[in-house]
Amino acid sequence: MELKALGTSSVKVTPIAFGAWAIGGWMWGGAEGQAAIKAIKTSLDAGITTIDTAPIYGFGKSEELVGQALQGIPRDRYQILTKYGMNWRSNKGEYFFDSIDNSGKPTKIYKYAGRDSVLQECEDSLRRLKTDYIDLLQIHWPDATTPIGETMEAVAKLIEQGKVRAAGVCNYSVAQVEEALKTVKLASNQVPYSMIHRAIEKDVVPQAIANKMSIIPYSPLQRGLLTGKIKRDHKFNAGDTREGNRFYKPENIDRTNAFLQKIKPVADGYGVSLAQLVINWTTRQPAMDCVLVGARDDKQVQENVKSLSFKLSDDEIKTIRIHAEELMLVD
């Protein structure tokens, strides 16, 4: 598997990464631990050696499963991307939303990235991941209660200590990235992006290109919608936050499926699924050096890997974009 550098850092990643949000179970209606561990091992065996996780995914569960799955595997054979800045242990920071923890207890989530908290979160992640360094450490969401410079100084210290190889951000605006760059060199900005959700092309992507940063797009399948398997009468499991989401409104499901039928001949021509076509197309977009693709089990991993088995032509990429730009979703 050909590796790509994240920005100008020494961290090299695979074109797609194992997105470990779903295996934490949180906001996805549950997940099975052993299946998740097997999925991670299958990913590595298939050459997808980059894994993206976060403490908040299952309140530590995702990181713990990743750590268990990687035991006994030489550390230089994989890359761990994790995050910080989501606080569920106290009321420090900027209130984000209400949730339910692993014990079923209601809990409030805050965005908090104070200096001491960043340092402690890194130690907690290292413990759960059973490793002594993190390849890319990213702030999960902007924290309005803490100066960006303070947060980035903490990350710079972790890099100096050898506990972190490179710094990244998630969900940062152009202005926030500019502020962070005053303190630390950023390798990447992880932001939502899909064929039907391309707002970052206006300013975030051009900024990344200008500053030699990578974009790490998440939800390229729009949380499953772009697989073509979701119909307007789809039933979600309890706790699955896709229900009620704008993209999952019945009329938007119908419109998206109509769009998918327009590009399906391209997928059929390569003998691949719509999901594999969508992932492949996303890897070919400017600055998108590592596309996050989630999986709960080894079968889903194997399907994801097939998305790299073919190469779209420039004309096919252009045709797909034209159809995507014609799609109008309702709010």
- The model's pLDDT over 40-77, given as tens digits with 9 standing for 90+, comes to 999 999 999 999 999 999 999 999 999 999 999 999 99
Average pLDDT in the chain: 94
166: phi then psi, degrees, rounded to nearest 5 = -150, 155
Question: Tens of pLDDT along 225-236?
Answer: 999 999 988 887
Note the pLDDT tens digit of each residue in 254-313.
999 999 999 999 999 999 999 999 999 999 999 999 999 988 888 999 999 999 999 999
C-alpha span between 168 and 214 (Å, rounded): 9
Provide the residue ranges of all domains of the chain, joining segments of one domain with +. Answer: 4-227+276-311
Q: Which CATH superfamily is domain 4-227+276-311 in?
A: NADP-dependent oxidoreductase domain (3.20.20.100)
d(CA 227, CA 241): 18
Least Cα distance to 52 among 288, 294, 219 occurs for 294
> Residues 111-115: what's their mean pLDDT?
98
**DSSP H helix total and E strand total for the chain:** 10, 13
Kind of pairing between the strands at 94-100 and 86-87: unpaired
Question: Exactly one of 57, 78, 84, 172 is catalytic; which is it?
Answer: 57
With b meaning 16 or more CB within 10 Å and e meaning fewer, what string describes 158-176? bbeeebbbbbbbbbbeeee
- Whole-model pTM: value is 0.94
Phi, psi of 235 (to 5 degrees): -105, 120
Alpha carbons 242 and 28: distance in angstroms, whole number: 8
193 is catalytic: no
For residues 39 and 68, is the Cβ–Cβ distance under 8 A?
no
Side-chain half-sphere of 68: how many Cα atoms within 13 Å? Answer: 14
Residue with tokens 């729009």: 222
Helix (H) or strand (E) run with residue 55 in it: none
